[in-house]
Each structure stands twice: as C-alpha cells, then as structure tokens.
Amino acid sequence: MSHLQFIILTLVAFVSTKVSGQYGRSRDGIPLTWSVYDYPDPHSPNADDQRRCGRYNISSICDPNGVISRTAADAIENLINAVYRETTCGCFDCHKNKHGYIIRVALMHKFERIFKDEPNTSYANLRDAQMYSYILTQRWKMEGACNETLLILFSRADSLLYTLTRQGTKMKLKNDDVQRISLAVRHYFDKQDTIADGLMEMIRRYRLIFDNKYPEAFQPVSGKRV
C-alpha cells in the first residue's frame, strides 16, 4: 500500500502518493520536466502543439509524457465533450448557445516549480501547483464565455493532483466539493494503471455536481457516503 497524504487548501486538492511502475514513454524532443511557459496547448489549431500533447487534433487533454494510454485519453475526451454538450452553466451565453462547462486536463511527468526559492515542502509545492495551473489557464485562454472552466493538473513524479476552478465554475463546484471528490477518488492514483480511471471518475463526479446530483457525487467506491 503506497503512502498517501492529502492537503486541502481553498481551491486545491493536493495529492502526495507513490505511483508504481515506469515513468511514461519517452519521445524525441519531449522534456520530462515542464515549464508552464513551454507546456503545449492541446486546444491550439497548431498541429505541432497537438502532436506534442500526444494528440492528433484539437483536444481537451495534453499528455506529452504518456502518463495514460492514447485509448484512455480518447475515452476521457469523450467524457469531457459530453460534459460540454449536456450540462448548462449559469451564464447567459451558456443558456443562449446551449452548452455547459469546459474541462481541460494537463498531465506530465514533472512540473517546473514557479517559486524556485521556496523550500521543498508540501505547502510550497501546493502554492506552485496553484500558480502553475492559473498561468496555464491564462496561456490556454480558458476564460470561456463566463469563466465556466476548470483545469485538472496531474504531475506524476511530483505525485500531485490539482483542480483549479475558475469563477463561473466555482459558483457551482465549490471548494468543499472538490475536496470531497478528490478524497473519494484518491486511491486510483496509487497505481500507474489506474490513473486514467481516477481521472474518469473525478470528471464523472464533477458532472454529477453540475447536474445537481449531489448524493451520487459523493459516493466512494465502497458505496458509503464520504
């Protein structure tokens, strides 16, 4: 059983785990440690950015180091697309154009710290994850129509899972909701071969919140309420 430590702070769900197995497939020219300013945008029309993300068309998922399989990424993509098509966010544009919440997923071997002079503590890493995610949403132009967006960041070597909700999404998906759902799915991130399952389950539960199905969103695998 791997050691698991969770730190919850405001918008953050931070996971410290030890993941078994090898650290991803290597591809020529693809770094293992990613600066937030170099990390590619899967939603860019630029084919090179898409390729660097391990995708071959415009996508909601970037996985340059092969943290999950391409088949798993496709399944997660389908789930994300369904959230966009079948939910409705709270602003006028969402109702007018009949669309819902926007989810992006950033996966990597390791992220480059933002606050490099800070000590290597859980709290400092948490601050780095928060700022890294925020900058990434800015670079990826994740404002949407009314900030109805969220980003899931997973850095495997750092054993860090983080959800950043922008303002329009946070009105529906509260900080406490992120915390409880992260605690419910944490065991999926103990093993390499269940990381994709964890991402799927996290997104599925976020959708339940968007659909006002709160009891179902907080059911752990055992079936007991968290």
Look up residue 29 and give its amino acid. Answer: G
Q: Is 131 exposed, middle or buried (0-12, 13-18, 19+ CB in 10 A)?
A: middle
Mean pLDDT of the chain: 86
Q: Which of 88, 115, 106 is nearest to 142 (CA)?
A: 106
Helix axes of 70-86 and 195-210: crossing angle, nearest 10 degrees: 0
Q: Which residues, 6 or more positions from 13, have their beta carbon under 8 angstroms from its beta carbon?
A: 6, 161, 162, 163, 178, 179, 181, 182, 183
* % of the chain residues with pLDDT over 90: 65
Q: CATH number of the domain that 120 lies in?
A: 3.10.310.50
In a domain, 181, yes or no: yes
Return the higher-pLDDT residue of 213 and 9.
213
Q: Is the pLDDT of residue 226 over 70?
A: no
In the prediction, which pLDDT does 7 show?
A: 34
Q: Tell me the CA distances in angstroms from 6 to 20, 53, 182, one per residue in order.
A: 18, 28, 9
| CA–CA distance, 196 with 133 (Å, rounded to integer) | 20
User: Residue 223: inside a domain, yes or no?
Assistant: no
Which amino acid, one-letter code, is at 164? L
**CA proximity to 23, closest of 155, 162, 187, 200:** 155
**Position 15 in a domain:** yes
Is the predicted pLDDT of residue 199 greater than 80, yes or no?
yes
**pLDDT at residue 132, as a whole number:** 97
Number of H helices, E strands in the chain: 8, 8
Domain enclosing residue 57, as ranges = 5-217
In a domain? residue 131: yes
Confidence of residue 222 (pLDDT cuts 50, 70, 90): low
The domain total for the chain is 1
Give residue-wise pLDDT tens across range 92-116: 888 888 899 999 999 999 999 999 8
Does 119 map to a domain?
yes
Cα distance between residue 129 and residue 14, in whole Å: 9
The pLDDT assigned to 162 comes to: 94
Of 5-14, 24-33, 116-125, the range with the lowest mean pLDDT is 5-14
- The answer as to whether 222 is a domain residue is no
Residue 13 main-chain phi, psi, to 5 deg: -120, 110
Which amino acid makes up residue 216? Answer: E
